[in-house]
Amino acid sequence: MNKVKLGDIAFFGNGATIPKEKGKFPAFGGNGITDFVNLYNTNDDTIIVGRVGAYCGSVNYFKGRCWITDNALFIKAKQEVDAKFLSQYLKLANLNKVRIGSSQPLITQGILSKLEIQLPDFETQTAIARVLSSLDDKIELNNKINAALEKLAKTIYEYWFVQNAEEKWERKSLRELGEFKNGANYEKANEIGEKIKIVNVRDISSSSIFIQVENLDKIILPKNEIEKYLLNENDIIFARSGIPGATRLIEKTEEDVIFCGFAIRFRLNDKNLKDYLFFPLKQNEEFAKNKSGGSIMPNISQDSLKEISITIPPTKTLEKFNKIVSPLFSTIIKNRQESAHLAQLRDFLLPLLMNGQVTFNP
């Protein structure tokens, strides 16, 4: 295994301003695909590295034509290097630690070119990449299935309750349908109490329907405080700030989970309304975002949420809807949890394979 500088085995390039016109080519920022556009500025095997901001140092891999935005830079492996292997190695290297700047973190081509890595022979590289990529491929498949299931659930809702809504259906405000509670305000340095997982705004922004409970931060709070903010699987969560009005559901979990002061919990009087209510509330979130030109209102309060009015279908219609959509949601949760376990396995194997602690015949 040879120690080499990244600049000796790869080429670098900076991203560019994202094209305005939509198209078929994925556009990558620091946090992965952000849009699909009509142009591409790289093709074949590309390693994408978050260049600036919150996702500085993140690593993604894509094979094919794509656009790299100005929030990222890209790496092209030279001929004697397996690009998939190199992308996995850079994930393990935790590039965030070599960034510069504090208020605005930054990674440059110059920083990356000086990075020293341990490079096995090409045959070993491809063998390691094949093992790890098989896990990534399954995770990606699960993501695609979930995206299709989310689209299907939304289509069913729109067909049943938007196109075919009846005037005689009852209309109620959220005030009448449940109770609201603001989340916990806490000091990170607190050392008195018990450890508890907490939903923060970034957990809302990084999800689409369900909060991913296994990746939540843990804080310490007194037990009596924890009990005030416990979530259950029938709660709906709203972001108060950051992405105000963003609406998410809670996965069923064996662990206790609470929510932060930048979020609002909505606990329904009738849990059978949860899956149905998610869709009009999600539409309300998207409407607010579009109305403000891409950035949702600066903040949202309980009072503004309580006044939202929702059309409620008859009980029998709701029951039929739940019988179709609830299994879709259950499958989404199952696939996502499987992906989380596969990611943990991949991350466990990665350093063992890279350091030669696990060996095999390529």
**Pair of tokens at residue 336:** 């996502």
**pLDDT, position 145:** 97
Q: Is 57 helix (H, G, I), strand (E, B) or coil?
A: coil
Domain 170-312 belongs in CATH node 3.90.220.20: yes
Can you give the residue ranges of every domain in the chain?
2-119, 170-312
**What number of H helices and E strands is found in the chain?**
10, 19
**pLDDT, position 293:** 40
**Within its chain, how far is the Cα of 158 from the centroid?**
25
**pLDDT, position 289:** 56
In the CATH hierarchy, which top-level class contains the domain 2-119? alpha beta
Is the torsion defined by CA of 114, 120, 126, 132 positive or negative? negative
The whole-number average pLDDT for the span 103-124 is 88
Same fold, 2-119 and 170-312: yes
The three-state (H, E, C) secondary structure of 1-52, written as one string: CEEEEHHHHEEEEECECCCCCEEEEEEEECCEEEEEECCCCECCEEEEEECE
Pick from 216, 243, 248: nearest CA to 329: 248
**pLDDT one-digit tens code per residue, 238-271:** 998 878 889 999 987 778 999 999 999 999 999 9
Q: Decide which of 321 and 294 is more confident.
A: 321
**pLDDT, position 253:** 75
Quick one: what percent of the chain has pLDDT higher than 90?
57
**pLDDT, position 188:** 76
pTM (2 d.p.)? 0.79
